[in-house]
Amino acid sequence: MAPQPLLLSVVTFLPLLSVAALLVLRSDDHAWIRRIALTASLAEFAVSLLLLRGFDSTSAAYQFTEYHHWIGDAIHYHLGIDGISLFLVLLTTFLTPIAILCSWESIRENVKGFFISLLVIETAMIGVFVSLDLFLFFVFWELTLIPMYFMIGMWGHERRIYAAVKFILYTMFGSILMLVAILWLYGLSGGFDVDGIQQYLASGSLPHTTELLLFGAFFLAFAIKVPLFPLHTWLPDAHTEAPTAGSVILAGVMLKLGTYGILRFCVPLFPEAAREMAPFIGVLAIIGIVYGALVATVQTDLKRLVAYTSVSHLGFVVLGIFAFQTTAIQGAIYQMLNHGVSTGALFLTVGMLYDRRHTHDIKQFGGLATPMPVLMSFFLFIALSSLALPPLNGFIGEFMILIGTYVGHHAWASWAASGAVLSAIYLLWAYQRVALGEVTVEKNKTLTDASTRERIILVAMAVAILFMGIASPLFTRRMEASVSNVIQRVNPPQNASRPASIPCMGDKASNAAAGSQASLATIPGRGQQ
C-alpha cells in the first residue's frame, strides 16, 4: 500500500522543523527569514506531491497510515489520508508558499514571528486533515487557533484586536463542546480512534437522543468554522482585519477544516442524526448562499465583499454534503478546493491593491484597468472563476453540487442556483466599479502594474484555476472511492433497493445511488476530454 511509511509525518511536521530553523536566525535578518520560509514551504509542497504518486485511487481505505501509542492505551498517534483529505493537504501546501510570497514586502514588522505563525498554522492544518485519532485531531484543531489569533492581532488592520478576539472566542466555544462530545464517545467506545468509534457506532447501540446530542456538539464546532449561517458573524471581521496572507490561509484552508470535519466525522459517525437534521441544515446552507451573496452585493469594502462571498460559497459546500449524493459530495469537496484557490486569489488581488493604496474602499478605486492592465486582467479571470464560469474550476464544483442536489431535492437546487446568479452580479459589479471606466481618483493614475513577484503569484493561481477547470477528473477520480464509502454509511445499500425508506429522497435518488452516480460524476470532466 504505502511505499513511504513516514511520508505523512514528514508532510505534517516539515513546516514545524523549518520553524526551528527560523528560530535560530537573528530576528532582523529579514531577507534570510523570508528566503528560508519560502524554500521550506516550497520543499513542503514538493514533498506533499509525493502523496499523489503513492495514492491508490481505487481504495476507500486510509493510506499512508501511521499508528503509534501515545498516551495510555486509548490515545494514539494515528495518521492516514483518503480521497477526501488528500487534496485538502495539497491545497494547504500549495497555498502556504503563495501566502509567504504575498507577504514578502507587505510584512515589515516582526517578520520572523509572522513566518513562524504561518508555518505553525500549516502544520496544524495538515495535522487536522491527516489525524485519524480524535484526540490528535482535537490537538491540531486547537493549535490552528493561536497562530491565526496572532496573525490577525499583530499584523492586521485597524480593528484587528476586536476581530482576533471574536475569531478565537467563537471557535473555542464550538470546539470545547466538541471536546466534551469526543470524551463522551471515548466513554462509550473506549477509544479515540476514528475507525474504532465508527465500528462501535455502526453496531447501533447508541440511543437516538445521545446520537443527536453528539452530532449537535460536533456539528456546532464545524458549523462555526465553516461558517454556516447564522454562525458566520466572526468571519467578515476576521477576514477583513487579517493581513493578506492571513485572509488567504483563513479563507483558503481554515474554513475547510469545518466542512472537512462535517464530512469526516459528523456524517459518517452519526448517519441517522445527519439524515434527520439534513433538511434543517440544507435550509440554513441555502439561506447562507443567498444571504451571503446579497450582503456581498451591497458591500463598499472590497475585502469585506470577498469575505461574504465565502459565506455564500461555503453554503454550497454544506448543501452538497447534506444532499448525500456521490456527485454532490464530490462536488462539495471539489468546491472546497476551488474556493480555496479562487477566493484565496481574490484576497491576493485585493491585498495587492491594498499594498498600493492602503484602502479597501471600492469608492477609492475605479478605472484601474488603465494604469494596471495585467493585475486587473487577472482580477477578472479570478472573479470569473469564482462566479463559476465554464470551463474554470468554480463551474465544475457548483455544477456537480447542483446536479447532485437536484436528484433528491429540486427545491434546494433551484434556490442554490440563484446564488450562482447572484455571484455573477456581485463579482462583475465589483470588477466594474474597481477596474472599468475613467480613473476617478488622481492618485490611481500613477499606480504601478503587477511586479514580477506578484505576477508569479497570479500566474500560479491562474494556472491552478484553469487546470482544475479542465482536468477535473484527475481530482474527482481519486475522491470517488472514499466518497462512496461515506455515502454507504448514510444510505446503507439495503436502503437503495427500498426507495421509500428515505423520505426526503425520491426514486431517482436511489437509482442514482445504485449505479448511475458513477457516470454522473464524470459528466463535468467529459466535456473537456
Q: List contacts with other proteins (CB under 8 A).
A: 27, 70-72, 110, 138-140, 142-143, 145-146, 149-150, 153-154, 160-161, 164-165, 168-169, 172-173, 176-177, 179-180, 183-184, 186-187
369 sits in the region (left: phi over 0; alpha: psi -120 to 50; else beta) called alpha
Can you tell me the distance from the alpha carbon of 384 to that of 342, in angstroms, rounded to the nearest whole number? 9
Comparison of 21 and 146: residue with beta carbon closer to other proteins: 146
Closest distance to other proteins from the beta carbon of 30 (Å): 15
* CB nearer to other proteins: pick between 168 and 257: 168
Closer to other proteins by Cβ: residue 83 or 174 = 174
What is the closest distance, in whole angstroms, from the C-beta atom of residue 461 to other proteins in the complex?
31
Cell of 356: 498600493
Are 221 and 174 in contact by the 8 Å Cβ rule? The answer is yes
Question: Residue 256: which residues within 8 A CB-CB, separation 6 or more?
Answer: 88, 91, 336, 339, 340
Least CB distance from residue 139 to other proteins, whole Å? 4
Q: Which of 484, 481, 475 is nearest to 512 (CA)?
A: 484
Q: Write down the least CB distance from residue 210 to other proteins, Å.
A: 10
Decide whether 64 or 170 has the Cβ nearer to other proteins: 170
Q: Is the dihedral of CA 21, 148, 332, 457 positive or negative?
A: negative
Q: Where are the beta strands (DSSP E) in 72-217?
A: 75-81
Question: Toward other proteins, which CB reaches closer, 45 or 140?
Answer: 140
Q: Shortest Cβ distance from residue 184 to other proteins (Å)?
A: 6
* Closer to other proteins by Cβ: residue 177 or 435: 177
Q: Give the residue from 489, 487, 509, 485 showing the smallest Cα distance to 497.
A: 509
Q: Rg of the chain over CA atoms, in angstroms?
A: 22
Smallest distance from other proteins to CB 172, Å: 5
CB of 183 to other proteins, least distance (A): 5
User: Quick one: 170 or 431, whose CB is closer to other proteins?
Assistant: 170
Question: How far apart, in whole angstroms, are the C-alpha atoms of residue 275 and residue 45?
Answer: 37
Residue 129 burial (CB count, 10 A): 28
Using alpha carbons only, what angle is made at residue 388 by residues 383 and 391, rounded to the nearest 5 degrees?
Answer: 105
Is residue 387 a contact partner of residue 358, using CB atoms and an 8 Å limit?
Answer: no
